[in-house]
Amino acid sequence: MVEYRLVQEGEFQQAIELADKVFRKEGHVSMGLAFPHVFSSALHQSYGAFIDGKLVSFIGLVPSVLHIEGAEVQAYSIGAVCTEPDYRKRGMANTLLQMIFEHVNQSGASVLFISGDLPLYRKQGCHYYGKMNSYKLHSDDLQKDSKYSIRELQPYDWFQLRKLSQNRPIRYEQSIYELALLNEAAGFASIFKMNHKVLVAEENQEIKAFLVFGMPYQQQDVIDSRVIEWGGDSSAIRTLLGEAFQYGLHSLIVPIPAFDRALNQQLNSLEKEAVPYPGTMKIMNRDLLLKQLDSYFAGKLEILPEDEHHKRLIFEKKSVVISNEELEELILTGNAKLDPYLNELFPIPFPFPQGLNYV
């Protein structure tokens, strides 16, 4: 008989071993090292299916707070979804997913992020979301601005890094400890057998920007390095991107959300591909999400219930009625057919999901 429940303290090692078996190959660091928040007995969020005390299916669940221009959105992310090969196609992951939906609804979170787009998630109402530009840089694409001095992160830099991190209008909530922990863990970069390198740009002995990018930790064939996280002045970030090639990179993948207009402007001379965010998300409670976004909409847009199935959008002395489904589309991907003013607000600028907080 299968027992479905929260994974308990003392059982997370089983979860790590199962995730390593499914996702890791020779040369990879353990999932337990790369994703400490997923396998955290302190958080006590993740779910598993057990047979005779053995964990045979697992879904990691991590809570977070998103800061969106003054608004705080309570969110969850799932990852490390895995099942023992002999127990697949029995609906275990789907059962665990339903338990997670209930957990999220009870918690007061309004959205759920998923790192993948498998049919398992799409059938449960998970959708693509967001807009970003993906750049692929090479060593001669960007020149250093001489007013900045570039160096590697030092142990005495964390207060300044935290300040730059918190000054970003769109971000995950991150304490100094979490910044340091997730930087060391290098979760997303570990998929590509990379550690993190952190560079800072200084002007007059003040850190103006930081850049986190992946560096291969073993000899590999030609591979793209990847930018993970950044913050600070956009021109200083541009210089940091160019200076990253001093570490022998072949190329650098730079994903910049569409809402980061200043940095996109710094890179506008380079080729780019406009794509949705990687992964998918599910709006768990639409009205709760709108409530949590009150500060984001304040003075710009009012959203009122029209009837059970429609909402009225009031902005700039205009009014439009759309269905609840159209509103969710607007939140996730925007809608070019509606008033151009709404393009300034939608899609909602959720933080980029493959940064330090990747699950």
Residues in contact with 223: Cβ distance below 8 Å, sequence separation at least 6, in sequence order: 192, 216, 250
Q: 308 is in which domain, residue-wise?
A: 282-344
Give the mean pLDDT of 20-44.
Answer: 96
Residues 194 and 293 in one domain: no
Size of the chain in residues:
359
Q: Using alpha carbons only, how large is the chain's radius of gyration in Å?
A: 21
**Residue 219 confidence class, pLDDT cut points 50, 70, 90:** confident
**Residue 119 confidence class, pLDDT cut points 50, 70, 90:** confident
Residues 82 and 182 in one domain: no
What are the counts of helices (DSSP H) followed by strands (DSSP E) for the chain?
12, 17
Distance CA 351, CA 40 (A): 23
**Residue 222 confidence class, pLDDT cut points 50, 70, 90:** confident
Give the pLDDT confidence of 42-99 residue by residue, as tens digits. 999 999 999 999 999 999 999 999 999 999 999 999 999 999 999 999 999 999 999 9
**Positive/negative CA dihedral, 330, 335, 338, 339:** positive
Residues 112 and 234 in one domain: no
Distance CA 245, CA 234 (A): 18
Quick check: 218 pLDDT over 80? no
For residues 244-258, one letter each, b for 16 or more C-beta atoms within 10 angstroms of the residue's C-beta and e for the rest, the string is bbeeebebbebbbbe
Question: 107: domain CATH number?
Answer: 3.40.630.30
Task: Say if 349 falls within a structural domain.
Answer: no
Give the pLDDT confidence of 122-135 residue by residue, as tens digits. 999 999 999 999 99
The first and second tokens of residue 50, run together, are 């057990």
pLDDT at 120: 85
Distance CA 113, CA 355 (A): 13
Task: Say if 352 falls within a structural domain.
Answer: no
Residues 46 and 61 in one domain: yes
Residues 269 and 247 in one domain: yes
Residues 115 and 232 in one domain: no
- Select from 227, 247, 275 the last residue of a domain: 275
Task: Say if 224 falls within a structural domain.
Answer: yes
Distance CA 137, CA 358 (A): 22
Residues 72 and 150 in one domain: no
pLDDT at 223: 87
What beta strand segments (E) does the chain contain? 2-6, 47-51, 54-68, 71-83, 111-114, 132-137, 149-152, 170-172, 194-203, 206-216, 224-232, 251-257, 272-275, 280-283, 302-307, 310-315, 318-323
Distances (CA, A) of 176 to 173, 183, 197, 298: 10, 11, 17, 30
Residues 332 and 202 in one domain: no
Residues 145 and 103 in one domain: no
- Which of 143-147, 192-196, 316-320 is least confident? 143-147
What is the tally of structural domains in the chain?
A: 3
Task: Say if 68 falls within a structural domain.
Answer: yes
Task: Say if 354 falls within a structural domain.
Answer: no
- Select from 250, 275, 300 the last residue of a domain: 275
Chain mean pLDDT for the chain: 96
Give the mean pLDDT of 135-164.
Answer: 95
Task: Say if 353 falls within a structural domain.
Answer: no
Residue 276 phi, psi (nearest 5): -70, 170
Q: What percent of the chain has pLDDT over 70?
A: 100
Residues 149 and 107 in one domain: no
pLDDT at 163: 97
Residues 58 and 86 in one domain: yes
Yes or no: say if 186 and 196 are a contact pair by the CB < 8 Å rule: yes
Quick check: 356 pLDDT over 90? yes
- Select from 60, 91, 122 the last residue of a domain: 122
Residues 200 and 298 in one domain: no
Task: Say if 247 falls within a structural domain.
Answer: yes
**Residue 145 confidence class, pLDDT cut points 50, 70, 90:** confident
Task: Say if 357 falls within a structural domain.
Answer: no
